[in-house]
Amino acid sequence: MGELKKSIVKGVDKLGLPFPPRPKEIKSPLLWIAIDPKDKYTQDIYLVNETGKILEAVIANVGGFESFDDDVIGYSGPDIKYENVENGS
């Protein structure tokens, strides 16, 4: 891991009062999905593993909801399953 930086985040809240001092966020994710758009209709989706371990299986999907007045409609996309994900891939 990298060295802890001593920078301080400064700012004000909604009332204009200063935030208490705190260190900047320096963490980075160990597992994420990267999207590489090829053109208007095609994109490649990659699972990036920086955990230091081989992952036996990871399942990702997309979902959400929309509301119209009192009606709520849920939706989801297909599951994407990654198996035996090597570290650094």
pLDDT tens across 30-52, in order?
998 888 888 888 788 888 899 99
The pTM is what? 0.50
Q: Is residue 72 part of a domain?
A: yes
Q: Is residue 78 part of a domain?
A: yes
Q: How far apart are CA 55 and CA 82, in angstroms?
A: 9
Q: How far apart are CA 57 and CA 32, in angstroms?
A: 14
DSSP letter string, 49-66: E-SSS-EEEEEE--EEEE
Q: Is residue 41 part of a domain?
A: yes
Number of domains in the chain: 1
Q: Is residue 46 part of a domain?
A: yes
Mean of all residue pLDDT scores within the chain: 82
> Residue 80 is part of which domain span?
28-85
Q: Is residue 17 part of a domain?
A: no
CB count in 10 Å sphere of residue 49 = 19
Q: Is residue 5 part of a domain?
A: no
Q: How far apart are CA 84 and CA 54, in angstroms?
A: 6
